[in-house]
Chains A and B, each alone.
Chain A
Amino acid sequence: MKSYIAKNLVNALEVLNKDECEIVAGGTDMLIQNRSHTGMSIGYKTNVLYISLIKELDYIKEDSHYIYIGATTKLESILKNKITPIILKKIIHEMASPAIRHTATLIGNIANASPAGDSIVGLYALNAKVRCQCINGERIVPLHKFIRGVRIIDLKFNEMITEVIIPKNDFSSIAFKKVAPRKSDAISKMSFVGLLKIEDDLLLDLRIALGAVYITVVRNKDIESKYIGKNIKELKENIDNILKDYEPLIKPIDDQRSNKEYRKKVALNLIKDFLLNV
């Protein structure tokens, strides 16, 4: 196994172009997935490319329509930056302990593509996109198309994710709930993000995203658009219908952390609770 340390983006893309590598940014998941006995080196089963020294990818910036977060930007920097969407701040604050926040990256959480990845739920709701670059060019892919399944992403062997792009939006009501077995340092049993915008009693935007209740994050724009344009009273009258719409999409599993009955029931409770509190 070879390991490379990239000093800049070009350097990283060159390495990827000639050698297939797993990319390590913060490493907080990679190290655990490849752990070995105390005193032994990390048990990587592939070549690795360390990118954390690439300074040019450590940024949060904005223009009039988008926020851009680079691949080596730590969660802690994102949490502390004033241009970060509030919902994302809420998520980062709850998803990771201080030590992890100072090491892990947002893009690492995307690339890991765990169904229990908390930030992904927020990024789905925010209509985030990822920029993938290779030596020959780049492409921008909506996140929900980029993540294909449990730990499966649409990344070619010579590409790396360099940036996540988040459209700017205002919401009048936001909610995040990490349903974890305890209050800190725990992997979610399921997670919920609700965003909506109301103006003059009319629902202008509605976004609901659910984590760890299916192989990827559950978000359905058809259901959302059915209720956009309704007034608050109509929205509340339709809560049962909305729950019925979501019910078939929520197909969680039993595992060592929880069971499917609980995950499903709580997912529906959280949608209901979010809408009732509008």
Chain B
Amino acid sequence: MKDISKSINKVDNDEKISGSAKYIADFVMDGMLYAMTKRSTISKGEIVKIDYPQLPDGYYIINHKDVQGKNVIKVIFEDWPVFTDKKISYLYEPIMLVIGPDKNILTQLLDSIQITYKEETPLFDWTDSVIDYHFDKGKGNRIFDQADKVIEHTYHTGYQEQAYIEPQGFIGYPEGDKTTLIGSIQCPYYVKNAVKQAIGEKDENVRVIQSTVGGAFGGKEEYPSLIGCQLAVAVKKIKKPIKLIFEREEDMSVTTKRHPSKTVFKAAIKDRKIIGLKAHVSIDAGATIGLSGVVLSRALLAVSGAYTVDHLDVSGNVFRTNTVPNGAFRGFGAPQMFFAVDMFVEHVAKELNQDPLEFRKKMLVKQGDRTSTNGLFRDPVLMPEMIEKAIKESNYLKKIEDYSKKGNYKGIGMSLFYHGCGFTGSGEKDVIKAKVKLKKDKNKKVYILVAAVDMGQGVKTTFRKLISHMLDIDIKDVIYHNPDTDFVPDSGPTVASRTMMIVGGLLARAAKEMKKRWNEEEFIVMKEYEQPDYIEYDEKHFIGDAYPAYSWGVNIVEVEVDPVTYQVDLKKAWSVYDAGKAIDERVVLGQADGGLAQGLGYGYLEVMNHKNGKIMQKNMTDYIIPTAMDLCDMDTFLFDNPYAYGPYGAKGVGELTLIGGAPAIAKAIENAIGKNVFKIPVTPEYIMELINHD
């Protein structure tokens, strides 16, 4: 049998290149209305009075009074109203939808709705803690009694915007008693379950269909549940097709972003070694808590990075502020922590006058080591070989020696990192409980029935390839439509680098059974998630195996800094990844290039901040993501390290590739300018400050 990793063309190449793929903006229905959102103009306070204009015939206003179910979005922590009743907790909070056939009239109506507020002083400082976590490993804080030296540093990370190509959008329409939504989404069942709760309907009366998705990066994990609920409320009342699509500026001003963070690290040093770490992580949730607790967890779990430290004292807080709610973004807390910890370990090594690379290599996680929560790294860890490969390919040792001489403004940096694959903790077992179906029909066509979404990452290709490979049939005979909740079971959301490993793993089990029963004419195989029995996790106390498997990575980045303008020029990047086994090599390399580009952008380019609660970079002119001109050649090498429960050994890959970009480029810049970097993005403005202030 041929190696599954050998690349094939992506199955959606033709429709995407030719432009025939149907995105949500392409859907038009008879009698379709448009919805626009009236938003708050203050960051905190209460609505005192609303003066409505006379509505022309065929125009509607939908607000909290129309919500027949529960006026709260179903996410991990339920504190996000479908429409606010009167309390305003962030700028541009949605108050109502204005709906009708003509957008010109809608914009006039939006302008003529007068809202009187009682304004309060908004909170932007991180003082209102809503989640507080703490756990220890080994001796915890007491290890500091044995320290002969303590080193402390603080690290900051900023907002990051997903910058998906296609903004948020849905079209909703009635089908008899049913309310149906088609949307640009990552998680059909998240939307469905949220809508059920908001409109108070039975399961069979809500249907959610995924349109072709033009990028998501986490931004379409929970946010679509909000506007999906708003639209469903409207469709149920008005009983006509309605389209709600954000313009770019609206999207960037109001949708969820990566949580800004602050991490304070203390290292207990004895005999020039780190014997223990104490870390405190603060993240800014914005106005609603939503899934911020899980983002914080993922950050805390990665507290010792790719290194094993026996004694840890780990704590963190989620702070609520009167700013736009923050949410899911590729990496989910890990990019913040890996930046902080990988910089910190490097800084400690430098302060101890030790070679940072040797210092880090000695601390690397090995198979059989304990995780931060006393789980086990059960599988082989190939990091030493991967580092060696990256060093050889990049000529790292020679370059770091040359570049460390003062005044040449060239630099090279290396990040070491991992990503826990799948949901954090017991999520898969207790919350998601994924189900998949595989159906064979009379014509020997096989249908993949799952809720996983192809948002550009290539799962339509890799799932079909997986099944055709396992059943030894032509990929043309494997059919995988965009998920429709009326036809596919809930295989869980398309998040957390779980799609191939978890959903693909279940499909592989189903295919195995199908192969045995292949002589049967027409049948369906269903599989449900079963947690590997060795996995046990105590979510409350942070004890045990937080993830079933880990993917690993090494990034090396080379830069040159312009001493006149302090601008950074990316020269080249080398990456080595262990994602178990690539189901399609080119698909994985696509993730590698895109993920690293996004991680590098996070590290040196992508500035986003708010001023009095207002996002300042609200369009693609002001929010700077790297273009092809900014990026460099990226060489990527994949190591096979099959995981027993992944199909053909596949682990997660989507998020892994973003995580190492920021610390690698930050270290390269450090090397180029001879100063330590403590925050990202490392902008020219920050580099100037570092160079000019001793």
Residues of chain A touching chain B, judged by Cβ–Cβ distance below 8 Å, are 36-40, 177, 179, 181-187, 256-259, 261-262, 265-266, 269-270, 273
Contact = CB atoms under 8 A, between A and B. Distances in A.
Given A40-B103, A40-B104, A266-B565, 19 more contacts: A37-B247, A38-B245, A38-B247, A39-B103, A177-B564, A177-B565, A179-B567, A181-B605, A181-B607, A182-B629, A183-B629, A186-B621, A256-B616, A256-B617, A262-B566, A266-B566, A266-B684, A266-B688, A270-B565
B138 interface: no
B685 A261 contact: yes
Contacts of B605: 181-182
B553 to A, nearest CB: 25
A37 B621 CA distance: 17
Interface in B43-69: none
A266 B692 CA distance: 12
Contacts of A185: 627
Contacts of B565: 177, 179, 266, 269-270
A177 B684 CA distance: 15
A179 B568 CA distance: 12
B662 to A, nearest CB: 16
B564 A269 contact: yes
Contact of A183 (B245, B607, B627, B692): B627
A257 B605 CA distance: 11
Contact of B622 (A39, A256, A269, A270): A256
A interface SS class: loop
Interface in B580-619: 605, 607, 616-617
B25 interface: yes
A36 B685 contact: no
B interface SS class: loop
Contacts of B692: 265
Contact of B685 (A38, A40, A187, A262): A262
A270 B565 CA distance: 8
- Centre residue among A37, A187, A261 by max chain B CB count within 10 A: A37
Across the A-B interface, the 3 shortest Cβ-Cβ residue pairs:
A183-B629, A256-B616, A181-B624
A186 B625 CA distance: 10
Nearest to A185: B627
Contacts of B626: 182
A259 B685 contact: yes
B13 interface: no
- Centre residue among A38, A183, A256, A262 by max chain B CB count within 10 A: A256
A183 B630 contact: yes
A185 B616 CA distance: 19
Interface in B646-694: 684-685, 688, 692
B564 A37 contact: no
A262 B629 contact: no
Contacts of A262: 566, 684-685, 688
Contacts of B245: 38
Contact of B688 (A183, A184, A261): A261
B146 interface: no
Contacts of B25: 38
B624 A182 contact: yes
A266 B565 CA distance: 6
B213 to A, nearest CB: 18
Given A181-B624, A259-B685, A262-B684, A36 B629 contact: no
Contacts of B621: 186-187
A269 B36 CA distance: 48
A87 B429 CA distance: 65
A184 B621 CA distance: 11
A37 B685 contact: no
B468 to A, nearest CB: 39
Contacts of B36: 37
Contacts of A187: 621-622
A38 B607 CA distance: 27
B107 interface: yes
Contacts of A266: 564-566, 684, 688
B685 A258 contact: yes
B104 to A, nearest CB: 6
11 contacts: A36-B103, A36-B107, A37-B107, A182-B624, A182-B629, A184-B629, A187-B621, A259-B685, A262-B566, A262-B684, A273-B564
A248 B685 CA distance: 21
Contact of A186 (B564, B566, B624): B624
A269 B562 CA distance: 11
Contacts of B688: 261-262, 265-266
B638 to A, nearest CB: 29
Nearest to B563: A269
A45 to B, nearest CB: 13
B627 A37 contact: no
Nearest to A184: B629
Contacts of B616: 256
A39 B107 CA distance: 13
Contacts of B685: 258-259, 261-262
Nearest to B687: A262
Nearest to B627: A184
A63 B178 CA distance: 75
Interface in B617-643: 617, 621-622, 624, 626-627, 629-630
B676 to A, nearest CB: 20
B413 to A, nearest CB: 20
B352 to A, nearest CB: 34
Contact of A270 (B564, B624, B684): B564
A85 B171 CA distance: 53
Contacts of A258: 685
A37 B247 CA distance: 7
Interface string B480-517: 00000000000000000000000000000000000000
B630 A182 contact: yes
A186 B617 CA distance: 13
Nearest to B609: A256
A178 to B, nearest CB: 10
B103 A37 contact: yes
A259 B567 CA distance: 14
Nearest to A177: B565
Interface string B547-584: 00000000000000000111100000000000000000
Interface string B103-121: 1100100000000000000
B610 to A, nearest CB: 11
A183 B569 CA distance: 9
Contacts of A177: 564-565
B659 to A, nearest CB: 22
A186 to B, nearest CB: 6
Nearest to B620: A185
Contacts of A273: 564
A39 B605 CA distance: 32
B247 A182 contact: no
Contacts of B107: 36-37, 40
Contacts of A37: 36, 103, 107, 247
A206 to B, nearest CB: 19
Interface string B232-247: 0000000000000101
Contacts of B627: 182-185
A60 B14 CA distance: 43
A204 B627 CA distance: 41
A144 B394 CA distance: 51
B214 to A, nearest CB: 14
A262 B683 CA distance: 10
A153 B20 CA distance: 46
A22 B616 CA distance: 28
B387 to A, nearest CB: 31
Nearest to B619: A32
A257 B25 CA distance: 31
Nearest to B104: A40
Nearest to B622: A256
Contacts of B630: 182-184
- Centre residue among B616, B621, B685 by max chain A CB count within 10 A: B685
A37 B246 CA distance: 9
A37 B692 CA distance: 45
